């Protein structure tokens, strides 16, 4: 695989992730601005977000946008890993796996 093809695929993932997250956060901000009522400043876990959105909580929409933003770099690494594996570039696939392990460790340490 040419480096430019990999760069295009990764760029696409990053652009889509950024546009999606910003769009969702914009919807949350507008919803928050036009909806009456006071919303508590609580920390929502990712599993709480869908239920809170269904209850009409715009803060949950903002949290979903932030979650998309956080997931974008992870998706970038997963995309690169898949492309490296398809093209049998095992050395770079190994680097991608190491990056995923580091991200996983960071998530586990951050959650505790």
pLDDT in tens, 28-58: 999 998 987 777 777 788 888 999 899 888 9
Which H helix or E strand runs over 16? helix 3-34
Per-residue model confidence (pLDDT) at position 42:
74
Q: How far apart are CA 32 and CA 57, in angstroms?
A: 8
Q: How many domains does the chain have?
A: 1
Reported pTM: 0.82
Domain containing 58 equals 3-111
Which is higher by pLDDT, 53 or 1? 53
Per-residue model confidence (pLDDT) at position 37:
75
Query: 102 near 25, Cβ under 8 Å?
Result: no
Residue among 6, 9, 18 nearest 92 (CA): 6
What pLDDT band is residue 1 in, cutting at 50, 70 and 90? low
């Amino acid at each position: 695989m040419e480096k430019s093809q990999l760069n295009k695929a990764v760029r696409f993932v990053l652009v889509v992730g950024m546009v999606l997250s910003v769009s969702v956060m914009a919807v949350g901000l507008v919803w928050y601005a036009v909806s009456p009522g006071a919303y508590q400043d609580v920390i929502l876990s990712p599993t709480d977000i869908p239920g809170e959105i269904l209850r009409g909580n715009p803060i949950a929409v903002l949290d979903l946008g932030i979650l998309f933003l956080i997931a974008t770099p992870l998706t970038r690494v997963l995309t690169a890993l898949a492309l490296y594996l398809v093209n049998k570039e095992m050395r770079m696939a190994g680097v991608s796996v190491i990056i995923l392990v580091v991200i996983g460790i960071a998530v586990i340490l951050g959650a505790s």
